[in-house]
């Protein structure tokens, strides 16, 4: 398999599959493909169906298998970036809901449950995220630009809620309240921030969909007008 990511603010992932190779994605994610590629839809068992359902993903997944060499494309659903993340047995990753685009190889997708109650209640990432493990490549859709950091052991990064797209499973996530009454009331940053503790790699997104929706809502005419 070879891949290319083309385009600017609305990127497209182009995968060149060889005979017998397979790529997996959510139902409805494919944009276009050669007729050498064959689609196979499956649920993967009741447990996996339920896991995708509770994380807001579609219950079924599509597998695209190359009967002969051919190309398949997956386009971004929102202005942003596409990142290819290599997964190894010693490097699983945790991904925000809605960031998964496609995967290639022996990849296992499971539900990741936030262990700390506060992270689930007050962090923009919620209780349930996705965990990807195994061997292969996971392609992620990032809202806006992707900014990447390596956080050292014992260090942490304070992040506004909703901006975490991916982190290594070696990282941990918590929430931190904004200190000071004036900061809370007039700082415009809300009551809580997400805190990611190292060691591990993290990808942040510059334009979360929900933040964009809030900005657009400000300019929508009210029903009284």
Retrieve residue 108's tokens.
């296992």
Residue 177 lies in a domain: yes
Domain count, the chain: 1
Question: In the sheet that 2-6 helps form, which strands lie side by side, from edge to edge?
Answer: 2-6, 12-17, 70-75, 32-33
Residue 224 lies in a domain: no
| CATH number, residue 113 | 3.60.160.10
Q: Are 138 and 107 in contact (CB under 8 A)?
A: yes
Residue 105 lies in a domain: yes
Range in 61-70, 111-120, 162-171, 199-208 with the lowest mean pLDDT: 111-120
Residue 88 lies in a domain: yes
Residue 35 lies in a domain: yes
Question: In the sheet that 156-160 helps form, which strands lie side by side, from edge to edge?
Answer: 156-160, 192-197, 172-177
For residue 4, is pLDDT > 90?
yes
Question: What confidence score (pLDDT) does residue 54 get?
Answer: 54
DSSP the chain: -EEEEE-SSS-EEEEEEPTT-EEEEETT---EE-TTEEEEEE---HHHHHHHHHTTS-S-EEEEEESSSEEEEEE-SSSEEEEEEEEBTTB-EEE-TT-EEEEEEEEEEEEEE-SSHHHHHHSTT-SEEEEEEEEEEEEEEEES-EEEEEEPBT-EEEEETT-EEEEETT-EEEEEEPPSHHHHHHSSS-SEEEEEEBSEEEEEESS-HHHHHHHHHHTSPPTT-
Identity of the highest mean pLDDT range in 26-35, 56-65, 141-150:
141-150
Q: What is the tens place of the pLDDT at every residue in 112-165?
A: 876 654 444 444 445 578 899 999 999 999 999 999 999 999 999 999 888 999
Residue 72 lies in a domain: yes
How open is the CA angle 193-195-200, to the nearest 5 degrees? 150
Question: What confidence score (pLDDT) does residue 182 get?
Answer: 42
Retrieve residue 181's tokens.
């009454």
b/e per residue 7-25 (b: at least 16 CB within 10 A): eeeebebbbebeeebbbbb
Q: Give the mean model confidence (pLDDT) for residues 12-40.
A: 94
More confident position, 141 or 179: 141
Range of the domain at 26: 2-218
For residue 224, is pLDDT > 60?
no
Residue 223 lies in a domain: no
Residue 150 lies in a domain: yes
């Amino acid at each position: 398999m070879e891949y290319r990511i083309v385009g600017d603010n609305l990127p497209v992932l182009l995968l060149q599959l060889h005979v017998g190779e397979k790529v997996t994605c959510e139902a409805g994610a494919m944009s276009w493909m050669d007729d050498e590629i064959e689609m196979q839809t499956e649920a993967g068992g009741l447990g996996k169906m339920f896991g995708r359902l509770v994380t807001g993903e579609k219950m079924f997944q599509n597998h695209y298998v190359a009967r002969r060499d051919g190309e398949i494309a997956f386009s971004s659903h929102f202005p942003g970036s596409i990142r290819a993340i290599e997964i190894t047995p010693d490097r699983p990753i945790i991904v925000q809901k809605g960031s998964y685009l496609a995967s290639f190889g022996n990849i296992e997708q499971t539900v990741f449950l936030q262990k700390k109650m506060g992270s689930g209640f007050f962090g923009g990432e919620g209780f349930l995220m996705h965990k990807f493990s195994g061997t292969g490549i996971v392609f992620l859709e990032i809202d806006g630009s992707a900014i990447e950091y390596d956080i050292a052991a014992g260090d942490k990064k304070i992040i506004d809620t909703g901006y975490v797209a991916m982190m290594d499973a070696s990282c941990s996530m918590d929430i931190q309240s904004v200190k000071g009454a004036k900061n809370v009331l007039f700082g415009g940053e809300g009551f809580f921030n997400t805190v990611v503790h190292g060691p591990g790699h993290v990808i942040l997104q510059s334009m979360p969909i929900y933040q964009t929706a809030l900005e657009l809502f400000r300019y929508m005419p009210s029903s009284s007008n």
